[in-house]
Structure 1
């Protein structure tokens, strides 16, 4: 069947034509322990295996410490898919990941009150 006159069924408004699970090879769980706030940074070592274009884009963003959430936003991919891509890069030695520092327990009352005060001021 020939393509329509306007091209091979591509639509700029449709966005990404490759499903995110295809990018991660159908995998949904990362092999490395990554949090949305984990900081990832390139090691300078070239990946030992041939990875996909999304891996290269993610690696390009890791010049300085950057969070998994930021990489996900820049790539326009779900966080779960981004974690799989980054764990591939960790496994091959191209990036390192560091867990976020926890200065306060998540239920620290003074921290929660400070956040609430800040939100009230913005509203």
Structure 2
């Protein structure tokens, strides 16, 4: 049975953390289980994050919910410590990006730049 997005979030379109939850924000389990009163989709999100870190975009796809709905649910889960934002392992350092680009050129020397 498909539930309308506004019913999943209780009519809310934003929560405390929604503005800071980007599509690539990675989430992992928190220190507490989710409260029983949260939507079944929130419990599904926690179960998904138990197996490995998940991004907001991936959670949206796996739960078949729009990104804003997932952001509201994740925000609730962050507030209850059922989830936490995982530390970023991606470096935007110019040196790292240069090294990655050089490694890709070595691996695929015949590829042409699209930029």
TM-score (structure 2 length as normaliser): 0.70
**Paired residues for 1:1-123 under 5 Å:** 17-32=2-17, 33-48=20-35, 50-63=37-50, 64-98=52-86, 103-104=91-92
Structure that is richer in helix per residue? 2
Q: Deviations over 1:42-98 (max 9, x none)?
A: 125112452111111111111121101000000001000000000000000100014
Q: Which runs of 5+ in 2 are unaligned?
A: 102-107
Runs of at least 4 residues off by over 6 Å? none
Unmatched 5+ stretches in structure 1: 1-15
Residue number in structure 2 paired with 1:8: none
Give the number of equivalent residue pairs: 101
Aligned-residue Cα RMSD (Å) equals: 3.1
Greater shift in the superposed pair: 82-91 or 40-49:
40-49
| Bigger shift: residues 19-28 or 90-99 | 90-99
